[in-house]
Structure 1
Amino acid sequence: MNVAIVTVGDEILAGSTTNTNASWLAERMTERGSTVECILTIPDDRALIADYVARWSDDFDAVVVTGGIGGTPDDVTVEAVADGLDREYVVHGEIRERLVEKAAAFRDENPDLVEDYDLQLDVDAAASIPAGATPIVTDEGWAPGCIAENVYVFAGIPDEMKAMFEAVSEEFQGDSVARTLYTPAPEGALHEALEAVSERFDVSVGSYPRSENRPGRLRVSSTDPETVEEAVEWLRANVETTEPPVAEGDEDEGVDGDGDEGAVE
């Protein structure tokens, strides 16, 4: 399953917000065997979001879009997805009923906060999704996410985004497997070995340079677990390897930061 991730937000591009959503999503999808082929950050521009959704929904098995979905003027993500898929943007009746009940409960619990505020418009905006889309409802946030065709729309707030992903995570199961070797060798010295292993085995090999406190990494991936293991064994015989770095607090357990034993994740 090849996936594209689109994170939407002027604040991300301005540097005032760190884009943790994309890295978190990519890691979780990779763990499940999907392949993230592209990550893009774009502003809160309805036409631009719609353009990428229209094109990428044809180019990828799944497109994941995270951004503002709460119904405020700059929350254009869901509406833009509807545009990109050439669908109407409509109020979902069941979602609206749920939000009306939730708003009433909030008003009763916080009368001073909402005494002079009419939540009607906010409810309609938050309950709107592309026509025919499947809502993703969680307890963590106000407005729901949704699935329209192969486009998944999650909230931009990290806790809400994570809850929405977990609700549909089984849909991102794929066939890709990966193993990681750690090496003290400088990246420049690995060229011949990396070229040779790619020629011998039908695998993709990523090389990540060492840092002051962490050895270099060689990540071997393929859809065939046996081929991955063969490539890993070949690399072990031809490249100097080392134990995984020990995460803080794991000194006695002898595991790396991902909780895996040995030199291979």
Structure 2
Amino acid sequence: MKTHIINIGDELTSGRIANSNAQVISRELFKLGMNIEMIITIPDDNQTVINQLAYSTSNADLVIITGGLGPTEDDRTLQALAEFYEVELEFHPEVFARIQDIFAQREKVASPANRKQAMIPKNFEILSPYLGTAPGLCLHHEHYSMYVFPGVPREMSFLLKTHLLPWIQRNYVCSSMLQKTYRTINLPESELAQKVDNLEEIEKFAKISFLPHFPVNDVVLTVSGENTPAAEKKLQLAEKLLWKKIGPWVYGEGDQTLGEVVGKLLLKHKLTLGIAESCTGGLIADRLTNVEGSSNYFRGGIVAYSIQAKQNMLGIDEDIIEQQGAVSPAIAQLMAEKARLKFRADIGLSTTGLVSLYEHNPKKGLVFCGISTVSFKNTVREVSLGDRKKNKLRFSQVALGMLLEFLKNNI
């Protein structure tokens, strides 16, 4: 069933608000095996809406509209629908009574402008129940069906799950669609694609996509089947082929973060961690403590940003810094060791580098990450040519990746 999703609103076309409704709708329809042919965002303009309605009703089996159902002058979807179908807007007293009741519960009085939300194009069915002041609508035509939802995400999601999805499941034989995401580390997108040199073999069972979003590169497998068991079997076969190629670089699945994966391993092995950060400015600690339960393994962190802080907070000798340089493997190693000892942790982790590319220093864009345990120590060198924020994120990823590799291979 070909589906068009039309999101209406000046706030969307101007970029003031992100179009989360399109993401939610497409994700839910994807699970049912629906073919999303078009997602389009258009402004609150009668003629633009009418033109899009003409195109979508001629080319789609299902048209989903969000937005423009509010009480203000710029909410024009109901009027545009009435003009497109050449019908009158009919007043529905039960809708307005509900609006008045909602306002009364807030100890307020509905504005005359809210009456506009009770003016429904003739022949449209009101979807009840609904959450807000604007009802959802539907129209079943000989050649297509149309669902109209408010733009408020919470209200839209309720109507989607309460009305549209059950209607699709009742009226259409849906295939089962499954999708699995593999999160990789330490491989640029181009190298990742080269690793998967058995693409044709994998695509006998699944569609494969490479989705870079700094600092992570995801590989996504998408499969369809007559039913869930059939789709799961295809996914297992494709996954087995993919894993042979990129398994060593996969650190997680779905929306797992590197901080989560590292945290689970620390918890599993009953290990604790202390951190000393310089150029990453506390970002590693932030990423780790964003995980629920991180207090079970994260002892603490120090941001020793300046040379003086490295001396005073970590006790690194001034002569060593002068001899080796603040950005050096020796200082990274000392910082990791000092962090481990200071926090009485099993593992110490550190970063020292120059994140800015505008500094007059040959070491700009360079970082050294250090790791220290009682019996193990190592440093990693990395260069990044991004802007300041990008470099900080990249360097924190390198440090966490270094910790992950240690936990996987040395414990």
Structure 2 matches for 1:76-225, cutoff 5 A? 76-103=76-103, 105=104, 109-110=107-108, 114=109, 119-120=111-112, 122-123=114-115, 125-138=116-129, 140-149=131-140, 150-168=145-163, 169-173=165-169, 174-182=174-182, 184=184, 186=189, 187-189=192-194, 192-198=197-203, 200-201=204-205, 205-225=207-227
Relative to the length of structure 1, the TM-score reads 0.75
Task: With a CA cutoff of 8 Å and minimum separation of 6, indicate the structure with the bigger relative contact order.
Answer: 1
Contact 2:96–2:118 (CA under 8 A) maintained in structure 1:
yes
The normalised TM-score by structure 2 is: 0.51
**Contact preservation (8 Å) 1:53, 1:85:** no
- Please tell me whether Structure 1 or Structure 2 has the larger radius of gyration of its CA atoms: 2
Corresponding residue for residue 262 of structure 1? none
Partner of 2:65 in structure 1? 65
Alignment partners' CA distance in 1, 2:234 and 2:161: 33
Whether 1:246 aligns to 2:218 is no
Matched, 1:23 2:23: yes
Root mean square deviation of aligned Cα? 3.2
Q: Please report how far the alpha carbon of residue 212 of structure 1 lies from its aligned counterpart in structure 2 after TM superposition.
A: 4.7
Q: CA deviation at 1:6?
A: 1.0
Percent identical: 25
State the alpha-carbon separation in 2 of the partners of residues 126 and 22 from structure 1. Answer: 23
User: Structure 1 residues 155, 190: closer, same or farther in 2, change over 3 A?
Assistant: farther
- Alpha-carbon contact 2:195-2:246 (below 8 Å) kept: no
AA in 2 matched with 1:171? W
Unpaired segments ≥5 residues, structure 2: 268-411
Count of paired positions? 242
Deviations 1:126-167 (A, max 9, x none): 112221211124563112121122111111122222222222
CA contact (8 A) 1:69 1:155 kept: yes
Secondary structure in 1 matching 2:4: strand
Does structure 2 conserve the Cα–Cα contact (< 8 Å) formed by 1:179 and 1:232?
no
Deviations 1:104-136 (A, max 9, x none): x358x23xxx5xxx844532x111222121112
Alignment partner of 1:240: what SS? helix
Aligned with 1:126: secondary structure?
helix
Q: Does 1:230 align with 2:247?
A: no
Which secondary structure state, in structure 2, belongs to the residue aligned with residue 84 of structure 1?
helix
Report the 3-state secondary structure (helix = DSSP H, G, I; strand = E; otherwise coil) of the residue aligned with 1:209.
strand
Q: Per-residue deviation at 1:66?
A: 0.9
Task: Decide whether aligned partners of structure 1 residues 246 and 138 sit closer, same or farther in structure 2, where only a CA change above 3 A counts.
Answer: same
Contact 2:5 2:64 in 1 (8 A): yes
Note the residue ranges of structure 1 that are not aligned, 5 or more in a row.
Answer: 255-265
The 8 Å contact of residues 176 and 231 in structure 2, kept in 1 or not, is answered as no
* Residue 92 of structure 1, CA deviation: 2.6
Seen in structure 2, the aligned counterparts of structure 1 residues 235 and 252 have a Cα distance that, compared at 3 Å, is closer
C-alpha contact (below 8 Å) 1:10/1:42 kept by paired residues: yes
The change in CA–CA distance for 1:190 and 1:55 in structure 2 (over 3 A counts) is farther
Query: How many angstroms apart in 2 are the aligned matches of 1:56 and 1:29?
Result: 17
Farther-moved stretch of structure 1 (88-97 vs 7-16): 88-97
Q: Which amino acid is the alignment partner of residue 147 of structure 2?
A: Y
What letter corresponds to residue 127 of structure 2 in structure 1? I
